[in-house]
Structure 1
Amino acid sequence: MSIAAAALAAALGLAACDQFATGRDLPPPPGPPAPPSPDLPMTAAKARLIMGTLSNTCMELATLKYDMHACEQKQGKPASDEALRTELRDLRWNLDKLTADEASAQCAATTNELRKTPKPRACW
């Protein structure tokens, strides 16, 4: 009796695998979790919080982006905290899709480009 039950279970299992292999497509793997969305107004610490567990290079980029944002505010230019938060969250979302080395390299390249921008006297 137990041999018959085992054979039946094996047959059903194989039938299920066969249907699975020929029937439906596999669902896509889940994407990275949504980055944090800290309360406004933005600060350098909140900018780094959005970067989460990414490399120090990416933390440096987030800090630099915040510093540039704060510099614009000091000069009386329109600078939206919400826009900065969205930009950093989008950046984090895209970096999470890369390997750690690729993300760090991209952050380093972007940081180097941003550092070429002269810092206005009012922001020193």
Structure 2
Amino acid sequence: MMRSLLPLAAAMAALTLSACEEPAASTPPAPPAPPSPPSPDLPMTGAKAREIIGDLPLPCVELASLKADMLTCAERVGGAADHEGLRTELRDLRWTLQSLPADEAASRCSALTNELRTQPKPQACWNLGNG
């Protein structure tokens, strides 16, 4: 009888010890992905560019407006105006910047805007924007 109780006692001891172990730490679920930026119909306008940028900081809204003005300027002077390219560029920009802290996103947009403002503006486009 003692021999039949020995395996049972060993099994009970193993179960008791396994119940005392710390449960494995579970990792918290990943935060939900940010929403996809809107994709307005073409042709692009300043309002549609700002719609894509959404609630990013003001320097990013300014950048979107400037890029839309540059597209309009390209059309005025007979250059290539890639509306779909601008929409994609602004959507990518928002996707990248919306996960950053607001001050960092604003800083990046300000730097890009300042860089674009150094480019000469054709006379036909002087009435566009405020740069």
TM-score greater than 0.5 by the shorter chain: yes
Q: Which residue of 2 aligns with 1:66?
A: 68
Partners of 2:113 and 2:104 in 1: how far apart? 14
Q: Which residue of 1 aligns with 2:101?
A: 99
Give the AA of the match of 2:103: D
Could you tell me which runs of 5 or more consecutive residues in structure 1 were left unpaired when the two chains were aligned. Answer: 1-13
Q: Which residue of 1 aligns with 2:12?
A: none
Q: What is the deviation of 1:78?
A: 1.4
Give the AA of the match of 2:67: K
Name the larger-Rg structure.
2
Partners of 1:39 and 1:109 in 2: how far apart? 28
Stretch of structure 1 that moved more, 64-73 or 26-35: 26-35
Sequence identity, in percent? Answer: 59
TM-score (norm 1): 0.77
Could you tell me which runs of 5 or more consecutive residues in structure 2 were left unpaired when the two chains were aligned. Answer: 1-18, 127-131
1:40-51 → structure 2 map (5 Å cutoff): 40-51=42-53
Q: What is the deviation of 1:80?
A: 1.4
1:16-95 → structure 2 map (5 Å cutoff): 18=23, 21=25, 28-95=30-97
Identify the structure with the greater helix proportion: 1
Partners of 2:34 and 2:94 in 1: how far apart? 10
CA RMSD of aligned residues (A): 2.1
Partners of 1:30 and 1:58 in 2: how far apart? 23
Q: Which residue of 2 aligns with 1:7?
A: none
